[in-house]
Each structure stands twice: as C-alpha cells, then as structure tokens.
Chains A and B, each alone.
Chain A
Amino acid sequence: MNEMRADLALIYEWVAPNTRMLDLGCGDGALLELLGRDKGVTGYGLEIDHDGINGCIARGVDVIEQDIDQGLANIPDDAFDLVVMTQALQALKRPDLTLDEMLRVGRECIIAFPNFAYWRHRLHLGIKGRMPVSSSLPHAWYDTPNIHLSTFRDFTNLCHSRGYTIIDQAVGRQGSWSVRRWPNLLGQTAIFRVRR
C-alpha cells in the first residue's frame, strides 16, 4: 500500500468487499490486484496501453484491450456494482457521455481527475500567463493527452445537470485527503463517488 498512488489508496478504502468492479483505464492492474486479494473484489480492467495490459496479464488481473472512447456498448446495463476511472476523464473525447455509460453499466462510479482550478494551476495561468504544468499535469500544451480539463466545480455541475447524486467527494495532494473548505482552490486531484 505504501507504494500506491494517493488517489488509488483512497479508492481502495472506498470499495466495499466482494464488489463486482470495472476499472476503466486500469493501467497495470495494481488496484484490481490489491482489491481482489484483500477484499475479494472481482471484475475486469479496460486498457489500451500495451505496457499496462502486459502488466495486468503478468499479475493475473483480467484485462480487456478496449478503447473507452469507443463506448461500452459491449457491456450490458447494471453489469457491475462499481465502475472506477482514475486519471482518464480529462483525456476522453466526450467525458460526459462516458460518465453516462459508466452509470449505465454500473450502479455507482468513482472518478479521479486533476483539478484544473488548483491554486498552482491558477497561478501558472494567472501570473505567468502560460498553460499550467505540474506533477498532476506534466505535459506541455502541444503534446498533452489531456484534451478536456475540468475543475472540481465543473464536475459537480455536470453531475447535477445529469441528475446524478454525488455520494462522496474528496480533494487532495500527495496523500492527504479531505473535504477542504475550498476544495476547488486547494485540491490538486479531485475524486468523486457518484450514483445514478
């Protein structure tokens, strides 16, 4: 657990035992492996990164090579208890449609993404007048895979406009998680737990 990415560590805590879970953009399957081992969680990861897929297979995590941007039409309604997506929302073509899909195939979803309204990002843009580059957004503007950056508040609004219920939310930075007084300003990474 010590080596685990901070957002994954929080999600690990949130997931209930024996959950049937789909992990979108599951990387090398570290989260699914731990949840499977410690909490009896079952399910699949979806990934397109070859190294990630190879990693999943080598550690015995069930992984399907599938592009989330192509939709989840192959998965029926309510197939999973929980759909998790970390650090992928901002790279999707239509994050709003993916959110709909996640809450179609699962009752509940957990989404983690970099909060563009984090104060350092604001500083970068507001003072330096340049696109923010940080540990959560390490790319230059011209080669970033992150094409739909959003803020803590943007995502809250999206959920409300779609009629989804936010059951839990947290922001944080390097391992310290809380619902702060000014999450949109102080949170580097945002995590939401959303229900239909």
Chain B
Amino acid sequence: MVDTQSGSVGLVEPSIARFDTPLELACGRTLDAFELVYETYGELNAQRSNAILICHALSGHHHAAGFYPGEQKPGWWDTHIGPGKSIDTRRYFVVALNNLGGCHGSTGPTSINPATGRIWGPDFPLMTVTDWVESQARLADHLGIQRFAAVIGGSLGGMQVLQWSLAYPDRLAHAIVIAATPKLSAQNIAFNEVARQAIRSDPEFHDGWYAEHDTLPRRGLRLARMVGHITYLSELAMGAKFGRDVRNELNFGYGVEFEIESYLRYQGESFSNRFDANTYLLMTKALDYFDPAGACDGDLAAALAPAQCRFLVVSFTSDWRFAPERSKELVDALMLAGKRVSYANVDSPHGHDAFLLPHPRYDTVLEGFLRHAGDTLSLPRAEDE
C-alpha cells in the first residue's frame, strides 16, 4: 500500500503502549504507570536489527511521517522519512514516539493522575532527557528491539540521541545528532526563561490549573512561541522572507503593520491552540537541565567515555540557537574520547529550523551515512539503492 512514487509512507495510525512498571525519574519522583503513543513506518526484520528510533524536539511528537486520513499535512519529518528518502523505510523500521510529558497522547500534564482523579496539570513531574531515554528504552523492549540500527534526532531530539549513546551504549549501532548541543548556553536558557515567564504571567495560567478553570493561557503561549520562533530562524532567512514589507501602509498604531509581525502572530496563534502550556514549560526545563558533562566536572570527553556507537553530527551554518560551534564542541570531545565520529556543517540560510527542511547536502549526508550503516549491519539494500 506504500506509494513509492511520492516517497511517502502513506496513511499511518498511532499505537499506544502501556507500561505498568514504575519509572523512577531524575527529579526523585516516580511514575507508577504511563502510556506512550508512537507510530512505526516500514517493517521490522526477523533479526529485529533494522530499527531506527526518531527522537523529537521541543514541539514535536510521534507523527513524524505519512498522513492521517483526511489530512493534507504530513508528519513533521516527512521530508526525510519514507521509501527512497534519506531514512529509507524500505530498508529500515522507523519508530517515532511522543515523549513522556508531551501533549499529543503520551502520559503528560493533560492526562489524568490516577492518584487524584484530576488531570495532572502542573503536578506532572519535570522530565529530563535521561527520563525520556529510560521511557524510550521501555518502548524498545515492548517492540522487541534489543539494539537500534540508529537513533536519530534534531535539537532537543539530538540531546536524547546523545543520552542514548551514554545510557545504553550497547543498544544502538549509530547515533545521528543534528543541530544539537551538549548543553544550553546562558543565552539559550535566557530565551527559555522569557518563554516560561510569558506563560506563567498570563492571568489565565492559574498556576498551571487553567484546565480546571476551563481556560487556556493563550496569550502566554503565543508570546512564548513568538520568541521561540525568532530563535529558530536566521536574520538572513527572516530578512529574505519578510524584509521590511508592510501589509498595507504604516498607520502610526500598534496593529499589524510589518509582515513579520503578522507571521509571528499567526505562528503564535496556531501554536497556542494546539499545544499544552504545562508541556511547553517542562520541555524547556528538560532543555535547560541537559548537561551530560556536568557529572564529570564539565569534562565532556570523559562523560562520553561509555559511548560505543558511530556518530554523525550535523550542524547548519546559520543556526544561532544551537550554533555550529556547539556541535563542533561535541565532535571535538568525541574525537578526544577516541569515538568514531563524522561531522558535516551544512550551508543553509534557514537557521535552526534547517534540520526540519529538505536540503541536498543534508539529505546526501544522512543518506550516505545510513546506507553505509545498513551495509555494516548486513541489511539488504532496496533494489534501486
């Protein structure tokens, strides 16, 4: 049923896995039970050796590729996942999930807390990248996958990939870390804090109990998304797309005048209607907390010692949120630790968002790495590969 002509995995539907073994979290609390929503594309082979895990970024989820019935918009990474695409579903079995604490179907702040019968809301424990990787390992067990051929992720997803290589070195053969950083800079945390304050100072936030007040902190979420969105784009891309274009004419008021204002408002508006504020808050905290070198007095190379997989690190020249220098920092530490690593800094004007977009060189690098990865794992190639 797969339409190889268009390179789409076609129609997809999510599954839910339930876990009843308590999960101890980094914050000291325990989740007694939880659910993870996920999608899979392609076929798991008999040896269960061709699985790829996709880790999502701040606002991502399990719908990474293909279409839901009646919808025109494909999954968020459809440009890279599909038959004949860089993550080739003819060769690989791809798993994408919504992280714990998310708002797209996995247990999170919008779920019911069984202990109270109320929704979790702000009581949902703060998640860390480590917790996510633990829960993802449970999902791998559930699917019968002992070792992933590759774990792949961009941005916050790249941090999960890195954590996988350290927490479960024998459970992945390859790691692809895209547009990520081994830790957030003060500036990164500062932007996150502005986003959090925007949400938390919204009168409709009600300390996170907005659902019980039958409302949503839309203004806060809108602002958080607007400021976030600015950091995802480059000055160049924004200038090329909007410049100083005005909608009608300047009217000496505070309505929408410049196109960029209109765009940001639109982005903020649509996001505030589909994303949970408590999830947004905890995702930004997970970003802030991630620092694997922290446990080794800041010595990243020492922290990377457990890793056994082969790494591919990719950055984008115009990304100033997680700049190429941050990726290079990771690459240098991996080299210092004697790990197998390749690094490509892809010329793109699209800033941090470039990791979501198609780009000839980016595609070539991913495709080449995964083709060789498949060969080393003796996975049969698709006919035209």
Contact = CB atoms under 8 A, between A and B. Distances in A.
> Are A and B part of the same complex?
yes
A91 B337 CA distance: 30
A62 B371 contact: no
A79 to B, nearest CB: 8
B341 A64 contact: yes
A19 to B, nearest CB: 14
Specify the main secondary structure of chain A where it touches its partner.
mixed
A74 B328 contact: yes
Given A57-B368, A58-B368, A63 B361 contact: no
B335 A44 contact: yes
A56 B372 CA distance: 10
B364 interface: yes
Contact of A54 (B310, B328, B343, B365): B365
A194 interface: no
Contacts of B328: 66, 74
Q: What band does the interface of chain A fall in when counting residues whose beta carbon is under 8 Å from B?
A: 10 to 19
Contacts of A44: 335, 341
A64 B342 contact: yes
Q: What band does the interface of chain B fall in when counting residues whose beta carbon is under 8 Å from A?
A: 20 to 34
Given A50-B361, A63-B343, A64-B343, A58 B372 contact: yes
Contacts of A79: 335-336
B344 interface: yes
Contacts of B332: 74-75
Contacts of A74: 328, 332, 335
Interface in A69-99: 74-76, 79
Interface in B305-341: 310, 312, 328, 331-332, 335-336, 340-341
A76 B332 CA distance: 10
A62 B340 contact: yes
A139 interface: no
A62 to B, nearest CB: 5
B345 interface: yes
A60 interface: yes
A23 to B, nearest CB: 13
B344 A65 contact: yes
A75 B335 contact: yes
Nearest to A50: B361
B376 interface: yes
Specify the main secondary structure of chain B where it touches its partner.
helix
Contacts of A66: 328, 343
Nearest to B335: A44
Nearest to B312: A57
Contacts of B376: 60
Q: Which of A44, A53, A65 has the most CB of B within 10 A?
A: A65
Contacts of A59: 372
A54 B342 contact: no
A54 B361 contact: yes
Nearest to A60: B372
Nearest to B332: A74
A50 B331 CA distance: 18
Interface string A33-74: 000000000001000001001101111111111100000001
A56 B342 contact: yes
Contact of A76 (B331, B336, B340, B364): B336
Contacts of B335: 44, 64, 74-75, 79
Interface in B29-49: none
Given A44-B335, A74-B335, A62 B365 contact: no
B345 A65 contact: yes
Interface in B344-385: 344-345, 361, 364-365, 368-369, 371-372, 375-376
B376 to A, nearest CB: 7
A150 B312 CA distance: 37
A53 B331 CA distance: 15
B238 to A, nearest CB: 26
A13 to B, nearest CB: 26
B369 A57 contact: yes
A62 B345 contact: no
A53 B336 CA distance: 20
B53 to A, nearest CB: 20
B332 to A, nearest CB: 4
A57 B344 contact: yes
A64 B361 CA distance: 15
Given A62-B310, A62-B342, A64-B343, 16 more contacts: A44-B341, A53-B342, A53-B344, A53-B365, A56-B342, A57-B369, A58-B369, A58-B371, A60-B372, A61-B342, A62-B341, A63-B342, A64-B341, A66-B328, A74-B328, A75-B335
Interface of A: 44, 50, 53-54, 56-66, 74-76, 79
Interchain residue pairs A-B with the least CB separation, the first 10: A58-B368, A74-B332, A60-B372, A57-B368, A64-B343, A65-B345, A63-B342, A54-B364, A57-B369, A62-B342
24 contacts: A44-B335, A54-B365, A56-B342, A57-B312, A57-B342, A57-B365, A57-B369, A57-B372, A60-B372, A60-B375, A61-B342, A62-B310, A62-B340, A62-B342, A63-B343, A64-B331, A65-B343, A65-B345, A66-B343, A74-B328, A74-B332, A76-B336, A79-B335, A79-B336
